[in-house]
Structure 1
Amino acid sequence: MNVDAVRAWSRTVVHDYTARESALYALAIGAVSDPLDPCQLRLVDEVDQVVVPSMAAVVASPGFWARDEKSMEIDAARLVHGEQRITLARALPAHGRVVGTSRVSRIVDKGEGKGALITVCKTLQCEQGEHYGKAWQLFFCRGDGGFSTGGATDLILDDEPLPPLEASPSREPDQCVRYAVRNDAALLYRLCGDTNRLHIDLEAARRAGFPRPILHGLATYGLAAVAAIRAFASGDAPKLHGLDARFSAPFYPGEEVEFRIWDEGAHVALEGHVAARGAVVISHARARFQ
Structure 2
Amino acid sequence: MAIVYDELIALDIPAREVSFTDRETMLYALSVGMGQDPMDLDELPFVFEKNLTALPSLSTVICWDDSWTPRTGINYVMVVHGEQRITLHKPMPPSGRVKSKIRIKDVFDKGAGKGAIMLVENTISDATSGDTLVTLLSTTFARGDGGFGGPLRKPEELPPKPHVIPDRAADAGVTLKTQPNQALFYRLCGDRNPLHAEPAFAAAAGFPRPILHGLCSYGIAVRAVVKAACNHDPSKIADINARFTAPVFPGETIHTELWRDDNIVSFRARVAERDVVVLDHGRVELRG
Alignment of 1:84-163 (within 5 A): 84-128=84-128, 129-148=130-149, 153-154=152-153, 163=160
Retained in 2: the 8 A contact 1:125–1:131? Answer: yes
The one-letter code of the counterpart of 2:9 is R
Alignment of 1:191-230 (within 5 A): 191-230=188-227
Structure 1 distance, partners of 2:107, 2:153, is: 6
Q: CA deviation at 1:169?
A: 1.6
The one-letter code of the counterpart of 2:203 is R
TM-score normalised by length of structure 2:
0.92
Q: CA deviation at 1:273?
A: 1.2
Q: Verify: 1:284 aligned to 2:281, yes or no.
A: yes
Q: Verify: 1:247 aligned to 2:248, yes or no.
A: no
Retained in 1: the 8 A contact 2:64–2:191? Answer: no
* Cα-Cα RMSD: 2.1
Q: CA deviation at 1:161?
A: 7.4
Q: CA deviation at 1:77?
A: 1.6
Structure 1 distance, partners of 2:49, 2:123, is: 26
Q: Verify: 1:183 aligned to 2:186, yes or no.
A: no
Q: Verify: 1:16 aligned to 2:25, yes or no.
A: no
Do the aligned partners of residues 81 and 65 (structure 1) sit closer, same or farther apart at CA in structure 2, a change above 3 Å counting? farther
Structure 1 stretches of at least 4 aligned residues deviating more than 4 Å after TM superposition: 159-162
Structure 2 distance, partners of 1:224, 1:256, is: 11
The one-letter code of the counterpart of 1:6 is L
Do the aligned partners of residues 142 and 153 (structure 1) sit closer, same or farther apart at CA in structure 2, a change above 3 Å counting? farther
Retained in 2: the 8 A contact 1:101–1:124? Answer: yes
Report the number of matched residues.
283
Retained in 2: the 8 A contact 1:108–1:155? Answer: no
Question: Unaligned regions of 5+ residues in structure 2, if any?
Answer: none
Share of identical aligned residues, percent?
37
Match of 1:169 in 2: 166
TM-score normalised by length of structure 1:
0.91
Measured against aligned partners, the alpha-carbon deviations of 1:216-256 in whole angstroms (never above 9, x if no partner) come to 01100100100001001111122222210111001011011
Q: CA deviation at 1:162?
A: 6.5
Structure 1 distance, partners of 2:35, 2:153, is: 42
Q: CA deviation at 1:277?
A: 1.5
Structure 2 distance, partners of 1:155, 1:211, is: 40
Structure 2 distance, partners of 1:7, 1:74, is: 13
Structure 2 distance, partners of 1:105, 1:220, is: 25
Do the aligned partners of residues 110 and 29 (structure 1) sit closer, same or farther apart at CA in structure 2, a change above 3 Å counting? same
Do the aligned partners of residues 274 and 264 (structure 1) sit closer, same or farther apart at CA in structure 2, a change above 3 Å counting? same
Retained in 1: the 8 A contact 2:27–2:189? Answer: yes
Question: Unaligned regions of 5+ residues in structure 1, if any?
Answer: none
Q: CA deviation at 1:48?
A: 2.1
Q: Verify: 1:52 aligned to 2:55, yes or no.
A: yes
Retained in 1: the 8 A contact 2:252–2:272? Answer: no
Retained in 2: the 8 A contact 1:86–1:242? Answer: yes
Measured against aligned partners, the alpha-carbon deviations of 1:124-153 in whole angstroms (never above 9, x if no partner) come to 10113111020011011112222226xx74
Retained in 2: the 8 A contact 1:108–1:153? Answer: no
Q: CA deviation at 1:9?
A: 1.8
Measured against aligned partners, the alpha-carbon deviations of 1:241-282 in whole angstroms (never above 9, x if no partner) come to 221011100101101111111112231111111132121111
